[in-house]
């Protein structure tokens, strides 16, 4: 029976992917899912490390500075960055979920929710 539960237990990478999507959806709710914001997040998480990788990510997301990006395009950009750097997409998703940008987003979201409860 133990092996059954081990088989279906989620890995750290799966949780990273889910967290990354969760943070993206929160950015999207606030209208902050722009090309610039997402590139900043990717830089902070060390997914985008130079101008060439930034340009490639923007091209995949089809995003100019203030243009909104869909989840599908964003996750495709992360996948492509992983392939280009011979990493796994799951590793990059985990890095993004654990980045300081995600931590700041979480803190800001919690402060907003607490403020709304007081009203």
DSSP-H helix ranges across the chain? 2-8, 12-29, 35-44, 51-61, 71-84, 89-97, 100-118
Whether 113 has a pLDDT exceeding 80, the answer reads no
Rounded Cα–Cα distance for residues 114 and 117 (Å): 5
Residue 5 within any structural domain of the chain: no
Residue 68: φ, ψ to 5°: -75, 150
Residue 38 within any structural domain of the chain: yes
pTM of this prediction? Answer: 0.68
Residue 50 within any structural domain of the chain: yes
> Can you give the pLDDT at residue 2?
46
Total number of domains in the chain: 1
Range of the domain at 41: 12-118
Please list, in sequence order, all residues whose beta carbon lies within 8 angstroms of the beta carbon of residue 34, skipping any fewer than 6 positions away.
Answer: 63, 65, 66, 67, 68, 69
Residue 2 within any structural domain of the chain: no
Whether 12 has a pLDDT exceeding 60, the answer reads no
Question: Lowest-confidence range among 6-15, 39-48, 77-86?
Answer: 6-15
> Can you give the pLDDT at residue 60?
87
Residue 65 within any structural domain of the chain: yes
pLDDT in tens, 74-110: 888 888 888 888 888 888 888 877 777 766 766 776 7
Q: Provide the β-strand partners of residue 72.
A: none
């Amino acid at each position: 029976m133990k092996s059954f539960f081990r088989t279906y237990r989620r890995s750290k990478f799966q949780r990273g992917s889910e967290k990354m999507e969760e943070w993206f959806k929160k950015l999207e709710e606030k209208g902050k899912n722009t090309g610039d914001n997402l590139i900043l997040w990717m830089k902070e998480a060390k997914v985008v490390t130079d101008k060439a990788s930034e340009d490639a990510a923007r091209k995949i997301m089809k995003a100019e500075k203030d243009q909104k990006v869909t989840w599908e395009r964003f996750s495709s950009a992360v996948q492509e960055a992983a392939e280009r750097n011979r990493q796994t997409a799951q590793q990059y998703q985990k890095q993004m979920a654990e980045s300081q940008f995600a931590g700041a987003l979480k803190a800001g979201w919690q402060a907003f929710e607490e403020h709304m409860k007081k009203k």
